[in-house]
Structure 1
Amino acid sequence: MLLVPGAVRAPQELLMPLAREVTSDGDVHLLFPADAPPVRAATHAQADELSAVLEITDVAPVAVPHRIRGRAWLSGWLTRVPEQAEPGRMMLRLEIGEISVDDLWGSGKAEPEAFAAAAADPLAEHEAELLQHLHAAHGDQVRLLGSLLGTRAGLAHTERAVPLALDRFGLRIRFAGEGQCFDARFDFPEPVGNVTELRRAMHQLFTAASE
């Protein structure tokens, strides 16, 4: 959701871009209908600097307690990029000045230069379907990973276990039930670069849990 002066009271759906992408320079391009409040605000600003905040909410693609995995706020300056949109739509450019993140791994800030240089996690595009597949087809094996938790194994074995997040470094599972829940992170032996390597890494985890 893009928050800009004068548009903060607009309905949420009018502040959500139709599409977004990060350029090689680290700017964020946001596509809106031409009459959307953020477009009107950027048009009226003309040559003046218009501050804006892109708020991103990360929601787990599986049903778990406390489903929001994190939020990020990208603050910067908004301008129009009229030559990059079809009639009836307008592309806006958000030049990033500050980034804040609060998620499962903690809270902190990121430098715009680091954001521009960062590469997407190789599993990001497929994470939702992979988590849904693990939950639907490998629920018993996912639950069995609780046996790797040492002193917490007894609790984890009897609780509901749902795969919550997945990246090249490992899998996070949320164990829940009887009024309590906790997350456990299971790191892969080494970072994976694609789905094939992920299958091998998951096989190693499941094998270790079954021994």
Structure 2
Amino acid sequence: MPSAAERTRTLVQGTCSAVLLIPGLDPARPEQLVPEARTVGPDGDVFLLFPADSPAVRIATHAQDDELPAVLELADVAPVAVPHRIRGRAWLSGWLTTVPGAAEPGKAMVRLEFGEASVDDLWGTERVDGPAFAAAQADPLAGHEAELLQHLHSGHGDQVRSLRSLLDERFSWAPGDRVVPLALDRFGLRVRFAGATGSFDARFDFPEPVGDVHGLRRAMHRLFEAAAA
């Protein structure tokens, strides 16, 4: 399974929504605190791109050498419609400074020096320290996950539903129940089974981690073949 640091790094470098929370700033217009881009430096610091007139840039500039605490809050929403679509959240706290000359005209870069982080997702709730975050790698499928899950749901629904044959024999199935691919990473596929009596998630692990989309195709074929056997 992916480590807490890997999951957090994937959320930071992925496409999930993010907002920078800074004590003292009016939260009435949170869209002004949504970074346009996010990258992670070799030491684990997070670099956030904003318009040059963003409140985040102004307050970081005025803070100068003072320590300005801030929290980057991320929310991961399932790309396929299911009840309770938020799959996870992560919080990175640290100190904010500006990075002069690191952005094009009209933009500005700020650096969130890593202090600590936590993640609360489908795997559970865990804390992440700086060295683990800096050393972690984002999941290689993260950039394609939304498209892949939507493709599985719309184009391979029968095969996804067939995965119920791999579950415990005690699982009861009704014609109106829904089966939705919920999450995908290099280690496996998570599917949500929902019916009149409730819902639950099932995890289908690949025999070995996949490194790219080509490896994923092979792993998915093997998974569907096992379900059809």
TM-score bin, normalised by smaller chain:
over 0.9
What's 2:13 paired with? none
Q: Which of 79, 90, 95 lines up with 2:97 in the alignment?
A: 79
Q: Secondary structure at the match of 1:134?
A: helix
**Any residues of structure 2 matched to 1:1-211 within 5 Å, and which?**
1-155=19-173, 159-178=177-196, 180-211=198-229
> Can you give the 5+ residue segments of structure 2 that lack an aligned partner in the other structure?
1-18
- Cα deviations by residue, 1:31-72 (Å, 9 ceiling, x for unpaired): 111111111211221110000000000111111111000000
Runs of 4+ in 1 over 6 A off after TM superposition: none
Q: Which has the higher contact order (CA 8 A, sep 6+)?
A: 2
The aligned length equals 211
Q: Secondary structure at the match of 1:40?
A: helix
1:156–1:87: structure 2 CA closer, same or farther, 3 Å change rule?
farther
Note the C-alpha offset of 1:77: 0.4
Identity rate of aligned residues, in percent?
70
Note the C-alpha offset of 1:177: 2.4
Q: Is the 8 A contact 1:147 1:153 kept in 2?
A: no
- Alpha-carbon distance in 1 for matches of 2:170, 2:133: 37
- Alpha-carbon distance in 2 for matches of 1:146, 1:27: 42
CA RMSD of aligned residues (A): 1.4
What's 2:5 paired with? none
Note the C-alpha offset of 1:9: 2.0
